[in-house]
Structure 1
Amino acid sequence: MDNQTFGQKAVGLSFNPSGDDAVGKAKQIFADAIDQLNDLRSTTTSGEVMRMASVAITEAQTAQMWAVKALTWKD
């Protein structure tokens, strides 16, 4: 996956050692949201919007990691 989007790189889309479809789907959903926020961040002239988009990207990455943990949890 050489031509990954920023969001795909940010969530580590290519890292899915078990090949779990649910993990791949969740990561792509978060990657899409991050791409939307990154596009906004890249086109706005508002420093505050840039800051909020950056915070949202960080929080989306955190949520993605917890989502993968939930999807792969074994009791």
Structure 2
Amino acid sequence: MTKGEYRVGVTFNPSGDDQVAEIKSAAARLIDLIEGIATHSTSRVAIDDEASRERGRLKALAQTATEEAAMWAVKAATKPNRKEA
């Protein structure tokens, strides 16, 4: 299981809703893509310690925002009509 799959809980879908599965899968892929952003020196670009910490912070914020977006999207996809609630 990837970090993204773990974070969004791709295996938790009690209703078996295909749209929920698609939302979670897309969010997991984005989290994994963000995780791949280098936070340290690479052969192309030298990154100092401050820049490395800042990249790590920005990656964490982006991943958290993605988790939150997935949560709200799942809620939108599964929200019942008032009469059904």
| TM-score, length basis structure 1 | 0.89
Superposition RMSD on alpha carbons, in Å?
0.8
Give structure 2 stretches of 5+ with no counterpart.
41-51
Partners of 2:33 and 2:55 lie apart in 1 by 13
Runs of 4+ in 1 over 4 A off after TM superposition: none
- Give 1 or 2 for the bigger CA radius of gyration: 2
Q: CA deviation at 1:39?
A: 1.7
Partners of 1:51 and 1:65 lie apart in 2 by 21
Give structure 1 stretches of 5+ with no counterpart.
none
**1:47 aligns to 2:53 (yes or no):** yes
Cα deviation digits, residues 6-60 of structure 1 (max 9, x gap) = 10000000000010000000100000000011121xx322111110000011111
Given the alignment, which residue of 22, 34, 37 partners 2:19? Answer: 22
Aligned length: 70
For residue 7 of structure 1, what is the aligned residue in structure 2?
4
Residues 59-74 of structure 1: pairs in structure 2 closer than 5 A: 59-74=65-80
The percentage of aligned residue pairs carrying the same residue is 43
Higher helix proportion (structure 1 or 2):
1
| TM-score, length basis structure 2 | 0.79
